Amino acid sequence: MRKMPTALALLALLGTTSALADITFFSTQARPLEEAQQMREIALAPYAEAINYMPQETGTFLSRLEAEKTSPDGALDLLGGLHGELGSLTPSILTPLNDLQGSLADTGISKQYMTLGKLGGDQQRYIPWMQATYIMAANRKALPYLPEGADLNALSYDELLAWGRNMQEATGSPKLGFPAGRKGLIHRFLEGYLYPSFTHSVVREFRSDDAVAMWQKFREIWAVTNPRSTAYGFMQEPLLNGEVWVAFDHTARLKDAFNKQPDQYVAFPAPAGPSGRGYMPVVAGLAVPANATNPDASRRLIRYLMTPEAQIRTLRATNFFPVVEAELPDDLPASIRMSGKAVAAQSSADDAVLSLLPSGLGQQSGLFNKIYRDAFVQIVLRDADIEETLDILAPRLQTLINTSGAGCWLPDPPSDGPCPVK
């Protein structure tokens, strides 16, 4: 008992030794511990000022920002998040960064990305920071079972189905995998890959005949998919332990498999459907909270992060590719080289269908994803009637699009007013 005060004093000392960094960089990206460490050691270390890089889960990221918005001086200086995350904030939380547009004009950032950064308004709320996309990965053990005549770099969904069947027949267990767990990104597969590939649309053709045919096909594919898929978040894990041989996921979520066993895996573009090869790039952006104590320091850091050199460093740390024009060096890690090739093949394919992240939905974007996930759960997992399910969900989709007033985005042709669901 007598030792208590001494212990308390020691603890108090420990508590106060944590150094206060100059710039607090709050980010939902590079969250896994190793990535966060590399973000600090590789990407941010060369910067002249001290930076406190703090990766956050989306929920706490948004809650913290909402809590701070009433305070005159915020604790956060720079925000890094995905387009959808930054878009779900009240726009006035983010300082307009229109003054940066000029200095970034000749860096080669795509105009479409800059427009996404306006979050459906007139002001530049975030600066596009880095990009990634989703691709397929396969264990080399799976290659002998490819259906005859199939080209890995120009696969179709029919061939994927046949491939899955072959593997199941040969090994006795389903070897396809999708990230349909709680942390998985299956909704992006539906929005950016399946729908565009079968209907050349995301919203307009939500319940069309093509969509019905698409869901039927996906049901067949699911029958030869590992049922544990409903628990998968990051496909690198089931790939590494051999549960799954062929998987679809975000490039950053396949990286561990490519880096640990580069000779064991191949990366290749997503399959194509009757309407083409749908693919969706993911954009992360940098933003400054309106109540940041030193907005000039935040802007300086953004300018640094947008230099080609810092973008390459960020690529090494996070596996997200530069949004500015930058020469890729030769000594990049295996995962970046492998996924880089697949990404290029995917976006430059003759039948490629570019599908953008939902834009203009603002705070409705979470609900938007939920509609696609719900459709998946009902139709594929619970075997509900396809047309009936889509007829129930379509009016909900229309309501939330009307609420946000979002116009159509690619691959849907532009609309006057809110994007209509046919």
Partner 1 sequence: MKSSSSEAVMPSSLSSRASASLADSSSQLAQTAHKPRRNDMAWRWLFRAGVSILVLWVLVPIALLMLNSVSTPEQITGWPKTLTPALSFETLDFFWHYQGVISALGNSLLAAVFTMVIAIVLGAPAGYALARFVFPGMNAYRMIIILSRAFPMPLLALPLAVIFIQVGIDDSILGLAMVHATLALPFAVLITSSLFMGIPVELEEAAWLMGCNRWQAFRRVVLPLAAPGITASAVFAFVISWNEVFASAILTVENRTLTAFLVQSLSESPAEIKYAGGLILVVPALLFLFAIRKYLFSMWGISNR
In the numeric block, the tokens 């264990």 are attached to: 139
Which residues, in sequence order, are CB contacts of 290 under 8 Å at separation 6+?
A: 69, 92, 93, 94, 95
CB of 300 to partner 1, least distance (A): 21
Selection from 166, 164, 172 nearest residue 217 by Cα: 164
Select 61 or 129, whichever has its Cβ closest to partner 1.
61
Cβ 47 to partner 1 shortest distance, Å: 15
Per CB under 8 A, 220 contacts partner 1: no
Kindly identify the residues of this chain, within the stretch 51-80, that bind partner 1 according to CB under 8 A: 52, 54-57, 59-60, 63-64, 66-68, 70-71, 75-76
Q: How far is the CB of 139 from partner 1 (least distance, A)?
A: 13
Greatest distance between any 2 Cα atoms in the chain: 79
Distance of CA 301 to the CA centre of its chain: 23
Smallest CA-to-CA distance from 358 within 169, 183, 187 is with 187
Q: What is the spatial distance between Cα 265 and Cα 132, in angstroms, rounded to a whole number?
A: 19
Question: 3-state DSSP call for residue 53?
Answer: strand
Pick the closer one to partner 1 by CB: 14 or 48. 14
Token pair belonging to 57: 């889960």
152 binds partner 1 (CB under 8 A): no
Q: Considering only residues 5-24, where is the footprint of partner 1 by CB under 8 A?
A: 7-8, 11-12, 14-15, 17-21, 24
For the chain, the straight-line distance linking the first and the last C-alpha, in angstroms and rounded, comes to 74
Instruction: Please report, as a single letter, which amino acid is at residue 29.
Output: Q
- By CB under 8 A, residue 237 contacts partner 1: yes
Return the H-helix or E-strand segment holding 78: strand 78-82
C-alpha 138/C-alpha 136 separation (Å) is 7
Q: Is 337 in the site for partner 1 (CB under 8 A)?
A: no
Site membership for partner 1, residue 244 (CB under 8 A) = no
Return the residue of 9, 50, 183, 422 that touches partner 1, per CB under 8 A: 183
**Which span sits near partner 1 by CB under 8 A: 194-202, 234-242, 263-271, 342-350?**
234-242
406 touching partner 1, by CB under 8 A = no
Q: Which spans of this chain sit near partner 1 (rule: CB under 8 A)?
A: 7-8, 11-12, 14-15, 17-21, 24, 26, 31-34, 36-37, 40, 52, 54-57, 59-60, 63-64, 66-68, 70-71, 75-76, 183, 233-234, 236-237, 240-242, 256, 260
